[in-house]
Amino acid sequence: MKILALNPPFLPKFSREQRSPALTKSGTLYYPMWLAYAVGALEETGHECNLIDVPADPGWTRDGVLRHVASSAYDLALVDTSTPTIDNDAGFAAAIKEVSPETRTVLVGPHVSALPEETLKEFETVDGVLRGEYEMTAVALAVALENGGDPSAVEGVTWRIGNKVVSAPARSPLNDLDSLPYVSRVYDKYLAIGNYFYSHSRYPIVTILTARGCPHYCVFCVYPQVFSGREYRVRSPDNVVAELKYIKETWPNLGELMFEDDTFSVDRERTRLLCEAMLDEGVGLTWSANARADLDYETLRVMREAGCRLLCVGVESGDDSMLESMGKQVGRGRIEQFFADAKRVDVLVHGCFMVGNPGETRGTMEKTLEFAKKLRPDTAQFFPIMVYPGTAMYRWAEQHGHLTADGFSDWLTDEGLHNCVVDLPGLPASELVAFCDRARREFYLSPGYVFYKMRQLLKRPRELGRTLKSARVFFKHLYKPAR
């Protein structure tokens, strides 16, 4: 079959695949990683594919994509989606049907995984939805379509049959992750890595997965709850190292590799084994990863020796009762110890802070800001709570009447930035947003942080590039009033 994997048009540099999709104030733009994994699996089974990432590639326009589709005779189109852009994304899938009626259109991503039947009932020209991780579902669907089988019987598929929408049973999570082709090969074939940027990482960057699923129970985190699940599955160290060697050979001037696992350090023994394999094989790449603030000193030390430069960590709050309410299972004391250990081994930390969870007050928000200043991560982000369908936090906000949105497009401002849609008792969304704007200013403009950054850039001149690239976008937003 001839298959298109599409990150559809919206706003330029709209980061659809990140956990809270939006244009970012730092200029961060994620890879269409899940589409790329699907393309790799489909091509390995003999299908002809194309991967187009419109928000990242200035050479593509909405009309240009439609002209391309009209002239290409695709049998199947996988269209990525997100909560705030679902109207746009499903609308573009409908436009594909208009210019190429024979192309079957299916939607993918966390939003439609949480609301598959609701989505198809609302958007009547879309053929189907692939729920959750979808590489093997896409392969099975392509086989069914090619052989005249029943798409609605394919595990993981929700399909339209006439006026009915039918959901097949869920597909079991893929356990043999070593069987998947390297996603980096797909990037090399279809994407320009210079189009992608993480504000906390050296540029240019490549992102891959070494594991899937997260066993922790944070109430707000969307991917473990609706997409990848809580079953932790890993690639073997040999398989990961082989891909790292390919990446190093393919992009010798790479600034950094990002392990985009939900939580890279779930299994500390496995983490150490992987790092030791990287050292034994002389990989020699600088890398960053997502982690929890409960890593021990010895694991951090081995990670640093293996090339770890930075960890992206969800601190979330400076109040223990808030941390407990959101299911973090890590308290202030353990977080402080983690930061001390990270500084001791010279691993930088990007700290993520969030306000607006159940029980939040003005007092707990101020504690969070003071905690951020005390910890002094290398970079920090302050977000009002963003709730997404399928998560415990979304259900809580909906059941208690705290959602203020009339539709999913309200999850974004007119500019495409995050827009909080949760009003808490005594804490309206506008106040949560205003606090985050103030917290960002106080954190980044404090004399202590400015002095720290100046010392860092003298000590680590390679940090200058990513700092300036991020700052150019970030400072445009720093003093904009909250809406």
Q: What is the DSSP string of 312-323?
A: EEEEE-S-HHHH
What is the rounded distance in angstroms from the CA atom of residue 322 to the CA atom of residue 425? 15
pTM of the shown model: 0.94
Taking phi over 0 as left and psi of -120 to 50 as alpha, with beta for the rest, 454 belongs to alpha
The single residue listed with the structure tokens 């860092």 is 456
Q: Which two tokens stand for residue 293?
A: 């603030």
Q: Which two tokens stand for residue 324?
A: 């407990």
pLDDT at residue number 70? 98
Q: What is the pLDDT along the chain (483 residues), one digit of tens a residue?
A: 999 999 999 999 999 999 999 998 888 999 999 999 999 999 999 999 999 999 999 999 999 999 999 999 999 999 999 999 999 999 999 999 999 999 999 999 999 999 999 999 999 999 999 999 999 999 999 999 999 999 999 999 999 999 999 999 999 999 999 999 999 999 999 999 999 999 889 999 999 999 999 999 999 999 999 999 999 999 999 999 999 999 999 999 999 999 999 999 999 999 999 999 999 999 999 999 999 999 999 999 999 999 999 999 999 999 999 999 999 999 999 999 999 999 999 999 999 999 999 999 999 999 999 999 999 999 999 999 999 999 999 999 999 999 999 999 999 999 999 999 999 999 999 999 999 999 999 999 988 888 887 887 777 776 666 555 555 555 555 555 544
pLDDT at residue number 254? 97
Say if CB 77 and CB 43 are below 8 A apart: no
What is the rounded distance in angstroms from the CA atom of residue 153 to the CA atom of residue 159? 9
pLDDT at residue number 459? 73
Q: Which two tokens stand for residue 339?
A: 């930061």
pLDDT at residue number 27? 87
The helix/strand/coil state of 205 is strand
- Domains, in order of start, for the chain: 2-167 (3.40.50.280), 198-477 (3.80.30.20)
pLDDT at residue number 448? 84
Backbone angles phi, psi at 327, to 5 degrees: 80, 25
pLDDT at residue number 194? 97
Say if CB 229 and CB 395 are below 8 A apart: no
pLDDT at residue number 351? 97
What is the rounded distance in angstroms from the CA atom of residue 371 to the CA atom of residue 315? 10
User: What order do you get walking across the sheet with 164-167 strand by strand?
Assistant: 48-53, 2-7, 76-80, 104-108, 128-130, 157-161, 164-167
What is the rounded distance in angstroms from the CA atom of residue 79 to the CA atom of residue 100? 14
What is the rounded distance in angstroms from the CA atom of residue 189 to the CA atom of residue 209? 18
pLDDT at residue number 472? 56
